[in-house]
């Protein structure tokens, strides 16, 4: 589904990632973990198109997407969420999800300004679809609220709804449990499983070990910019190097 | 949806009825300017209020529209309507190609670049004396006409200008409540998230910049044909700033707000004339007070004021208009 091949990223004299390679299987939930400064966020930003790697490549299917801007990746079925939730604050909850359907619609300036019939049909479809995703994530009752007024947990759900509206093949989540209480984290784990069951490949960078070990099918461990280990949660938990580098700290 | 349509119809009807109150006279002339300024403020609001991209050079596109129309009709006897179209297309193209490099800049840097653009164009108006008449201006621009109907007085011009203004307002309201409008507002709130959603932010910014230039150019052409005389002084840096003020005072991201801003900033100097030498001081003070106490602009400030005076009633969030 997604492969990272020999990716190296340097910022000036600092090497954030060095020669990292791994593959992510289709329809699986894969966790990327590692202590602070391991290069998780950098890796995430490379995979999602915020950074262009110094060397190496990222493949989606068999297509090299390393140099593709984020908006083009959306059309290929890749979408992400953000650690500090990036909502469109001044828009309503419903409108936020409607933006998620941007790549699934095509009306231009003129069709929109003159309210052409096909544009109005498209708008209805966008609205109905967006509502469907709000229901899926359980926040349909908040549809007309301004997004900036949502509590953090609901904002996280909205971000997920907005991402799902693209009907992605692969969903990348940057610390989805950060800032959530234990009840919300539990609901999140159920939601992530539900997303996987729809045939969406899920990748998450996460600090919450309990969540990662609970829901991930496969885990990639980074340490100091290098890949330390890769495998199922059980294998990772028993890997002495990982325990020393990461789990041992706690 | 229906709600926005009704609101617009009422608004348009009121606008068209205004001349019944002020039949002719100086006030009609001022109200023609309100129309032109509304058009310009709406154009800037699409860029500044909705997309969050500043332009301190809007007067340049307004002036270019006026001069292309003026020079083509006064010096080359081109049909005014044709000249208006030529102006809009050529200025649209200029804006489109300038837009790509300029809109890569953000925030203060974009402000500086558009400011520079405005100043360069202003200098061109002044220095190309043979073409534009330089600082002493360009006269002899014909009025627009439709068959036998010549738009040669304030009353007729009021309907001419406001027809254009209302159409532009309606199209803008449609636009901002559509897929494109949501994408623009998304860019405003979080460009990085908008791009992740598949919004081609770079192209959209250039497109809305171009749209805003084309509407400003139309306003410029209409201005030239209504005034029949233009000079560079109308298209300087001050006017660009005045337009930004209209958009902010009226309400960022509100089409009706731009109308309110244009009304206020066009009428206020006329009303304050009674205070003679102190008018500019009062003008400045009022603007400061309004930005302090109505940070959302008139469009939110006036209902806010009303609801403070009236018994409480829950305010529901409507569509963007």
* ipTM of this predicted structure: 0.92
- The answer on A248 and A204 residing in a single domain is yes
- The answer on A141 and A108 residing in a single domain is yes
Could you read off the pLDDT of B174-233 as tens digits, one per residue?
999 999 999 999 999 999 999 999 999 999 999 999 999 999 999 999 999 999 999 999
Could you read off the pLDDT of A119-141 as tens digits, one per residue?
999 999 999 999 999 999 999 99
- The answer on A118 and A235 residing in a single domain is no
Could you read off the pLDDT of A193-226 as tens digits, one per residue?
999 999 999 999 998 888 999 999 999 999 888 9
Residue where a domain stops, chosen among A141, A165, A189: A165
- The answer on A174 and A113 residing in a single domain is no
- The answer on A237 and A118 residing in a single domain is no
Could you read off the pLDDT of A76-123 as tens digits, one per residue?
999 999 988 999 999 999 999 999 999 999 999 999 999 999 999 999
Q: How confident is the model at residue B243 (pLDDT cuts 50, 70, 90)?
A: very high
Q: What is the mean pLDDT of residues A151-170?
A: 95
- pLDDT for B214: 98
- The answer on A185 and A72 residing in a single domain is yes
Q: What is the mean pLDDT of chain B?
A: 92
Asked if pLDDT for residue B312 goes beyond 70, the answer is: no
* pTM for the model: 0.92
- The answer on A93 and A201 residing in a single domain is no
- The answer on A248 and A173 residing in a single domain is yes
Q: Which helix (H) or strand (E) holds B149?
A: strand B149-150
Residue where a domain stops, chosen among A114, A147, A165: A165
- pLDDT for B300: 86
Asked if pLDDT for residue A51 goes beyond 80, the answer is: yes
- The answer on A152 and A210 residing in a single domain is no
Q: What is the mean pLDDT of residues B69-83?
A: 96
B7 at the A interface (CB within 8 A)?
no
Report if residue A82 sits inside a domain. Answer: no
Report if residue A207 sits inside a domain. Answer: yes
A121 at the B interface (CB within 8 A)?
no
B172 at the A interface (CB within 8 A)?
yes
The number of distinct structural domains making up chain A is 2
Residues 150-169 of A with CB under 8 A from B: 162, 166
Report if residue A146 sits inside a domain. Answer: yes
- pLDDT for A250: 45
Asked if pLDDT for residue A28 goes beyond 80, the answer is: yes
- Contact across the interface for B190 and A87, Cβ inside 8 Å: yes
Asked if pLDDT for residue A12 goes beyond 80, the answer is: yes
Q: Which of A73, A79, A88 sits opposite B186 (nearest CB)?
A: A88
- The answer on A67 and A53 residing in a single domain is yes
Q: What is the mean pLDDT of residues B244-264?
A: 94
Helices B107-127 and B237-250 pack at an angle, to 10 degrees, of: 140
B181 at the A interface (CB within 8 A)?
yes
What separation in angstroms does the CA of B262 have from each of B39, B224, B274?
9, 19, 20
Domain span including residue A31: 1-77+168-250
- The answer on A132 and A161 residing in a single domain is yes
Residue where a domain stops, chosen among A118, A134, A165: A165
- The domain locations on chain B are 2-13+26-237
């Amino acid at each position: 589904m997604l492969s990272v091949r020999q990716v190296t990223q340097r910022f000036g004299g600092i090497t954030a990632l060095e020669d990292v390679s791994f593959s992510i299987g289709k329809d699986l939930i894969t966790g990327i973990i590692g202590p602070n400064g391991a290069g998780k966020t950098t890796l995430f930003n490379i995979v999602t198109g915020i950074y262009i790697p110094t060397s190496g490549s990222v493949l989606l299917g068999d297509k090299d997407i390393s140099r593709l801007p984020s908006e083009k990746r959306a059309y290929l079925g890749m979408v992400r969420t953000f650690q500090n939730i990036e909502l469109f604050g001044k828009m309503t909850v419903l409108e936020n999800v409607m933006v998620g359907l941007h790549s699934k619609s095509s009306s231009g300036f003129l069709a929109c300004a003159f309210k052409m019939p096909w544009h109005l049909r498209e708008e209805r479809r966008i609205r109905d679809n967006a509502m469907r995703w709000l229901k899926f994530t359980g926040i349909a009752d908040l549809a007309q609220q301004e997004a900036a007024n949502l509590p953090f947990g609901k904002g996280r759900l909205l971000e997920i709804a907005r991402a799902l509206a693209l009907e992605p093949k692969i969903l990348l989540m940057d610390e989805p449990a950060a800032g959530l209480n234990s009840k919300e984290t539990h609901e999140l784990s159920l939601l992530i499983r539900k997303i996987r069951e729809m045939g969406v490949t899920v990748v998450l960078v996460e600090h919450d070990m309990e969540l990662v070990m609970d829901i991930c099918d496969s885990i990639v461990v980074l340490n100091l910019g290098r890949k330390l280990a890769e495998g199922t949660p059980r294998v990772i938990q028993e890997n002495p190097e990982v325990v020393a580098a990461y789990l041992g700290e706690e | 949806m229906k709600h926005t349509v009704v609101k617009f119809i009422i608004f348009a009807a009121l606008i068209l009825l205004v001349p019944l109150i002020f039949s002719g006279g100086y006030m009609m002339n001022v109200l023609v300017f309100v129309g032109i300024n509304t058009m310009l403020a709406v154009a800037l609001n699409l860029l500044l209020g909705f997309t969050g991209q500043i332009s301190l050079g809007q007067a340049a596109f307004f002036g270019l529209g006026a001069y292309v129309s003026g020079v083509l009709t006064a010096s080359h006897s081109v049909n005014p309507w044709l000249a208006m179209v030529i102006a809009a297309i050529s200025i649209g193209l200029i804006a489109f190609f300038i837009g790509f490099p300029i809109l890569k800049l953000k925030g203060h840097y974009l402000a500086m670049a558009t400011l520079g653009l405005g100043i360069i164009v202003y200098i061109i108006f002044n220095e190309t004396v043979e073409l534009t008449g330089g600082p002493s201006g360009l006269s002899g621009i014909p009025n627009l006409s439709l068959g036998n109907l010549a738009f040669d007085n304030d009353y007729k011009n009021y309907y001419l200008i406001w027809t254009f203004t209302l159409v532009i307002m309606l199209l803008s309201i449609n636009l901002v409540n559509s897929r494109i409008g949501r994408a623009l507002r998304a860019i405003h709130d979080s460009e990085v998230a908008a791009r992740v959603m598949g919004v081609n932010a770079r192209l959209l910014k250039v497109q809305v910049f171009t749209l805003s230039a084309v509407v400003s150019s139309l306003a410029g052409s209409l201005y030239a044909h209504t005034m029949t005389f233009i000079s560079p002084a109308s298209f300087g840096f001050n006017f660009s700033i005045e337009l930004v003020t209209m958009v902010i005072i009226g309400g960022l991201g509100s089409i009706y707000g731009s109308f309110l801003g244009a009304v206020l900033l066009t009428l206020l100097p006329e009303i304050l004339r009674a205070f003679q030498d102190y008018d500019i001081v009062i003008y400045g003070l009022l603007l400061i007070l309004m930005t302090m106490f109505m940070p959302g602009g008139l469009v939110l400030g006036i209902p806010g004021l009303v609801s403070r005076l009236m018994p409480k009633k829950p305010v529901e969030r409507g569509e963007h208009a």
